[in-house]
Chains A and B, each alone.
Chain A
């Protein structure tokens, strides 16, 4: 069973070189607050700029919580990452799903395309989600609904296809 990849595009008002740099080295400054994989409040996000490089968050108390790693590092056009957070929002070294970012010039701007693939690899932990739902995972349904409501405020520039 395969699952269609998630594909998202957005245009940003900087050239690819700058977009790549801001995306990879300033992630902490723009990454939405919200779901965290650690109780230790996030003070930094680190992405080591090379293949196999550590990618994750660093907490106030110094806790290092890995999200994944670099799989290909080709500035300014392409960044391939492994997203290794499972359905329970925890790092799982055995789980590798690919997250590919591409930065293409559009005039003086860039088109940023995000593709998250190999989603069927979540299969096992997705079953755990269902298990948790049966046991009344607190608030999860409402959280999903809140996300859905938030999505309705999506800016015209964002695309869902």
Chain B
């Protein structure tokens, strides 16, 4: 798997998607996210780590807390989206050449 696929894989998990959607609405801490979701704080932390590795969120120290926000570059999503788009296009092309090619 390449890094390009990470954002989509990261968002395929419903809990991570819920976390990402919340962070997208408003930057917040692990504690705030855990309070709002039916998962433990360590689980939220683990999901945030995955989202961070996928370049979907970034964190910043604020006092003793870490505040998570959407990665302002947003390019990981764009790239993953395009990667999928071209993958789908080429598969469709392959199928078409099988049917019409000769």
Contacts and interface: CB of A to CB of B under 8 A. Distances in A.
B100 interface: yes
A22 B84 contact: no
A161 B5 CA distance: 10
Given A129-B78, A149-B12, 15 more contacts: A4-B3, A6-B79, A10-B91, A10-B93, A19-B101, A22-B93, A29-B100, A30-B93, A127-B74, A130-B24, A141-B11, A144-B8, A144-B80, A144-B81, A158-B87
B82 interface: yes
Contacts of B80: 144
A51 interface: no
Contacts of A32: 88-89, 92
Interface string A14-33: 10001100110010011110
A94 interface: no
Interface of B: 1-5, 7-9, 11-12, 17, 20-21, 24-25, 70-75, 77-98, 100-102
Given A141-B17, A144-B81, A151-B87, A157 B94 contact: yes
B11 A148 contact: yes
B92 A130 contact: no
B82 A13 contact: no
Interface of A: 1, 3-4, 6, 8-14, 18-19, 22-23, 26, 29-32, 34-35, 87, 112, 114, 116, 119-120, 122-123, 126-127, 129-130, 133-134, 136, 141-142, 144-145, 147-151, 154-155, 157-158, 160-161
28 contacts: A1-B73, A4-B79, A9-B90, A10-B90, A12-B93, A14-B101, A19-B101, A29-B96, A32-B88, A32-B92, A112-B93, A114-B90, A119-B75, A130-B71, A133-B24, A136-B25, A141-B11, A142-B17, A144-B11, A144-B81, A145-B11, A145-B17, A147-B81, A148-B9, A148-B84, A150-B88, A151-B8, A155-B91
A147 B8 CA distance: 8
A23 B78 CA distance: 24
Nearest to A158: B91
A22 B101 CA distance: 8
A122 B78 contact: yes
A122 B20 CA distance: 22
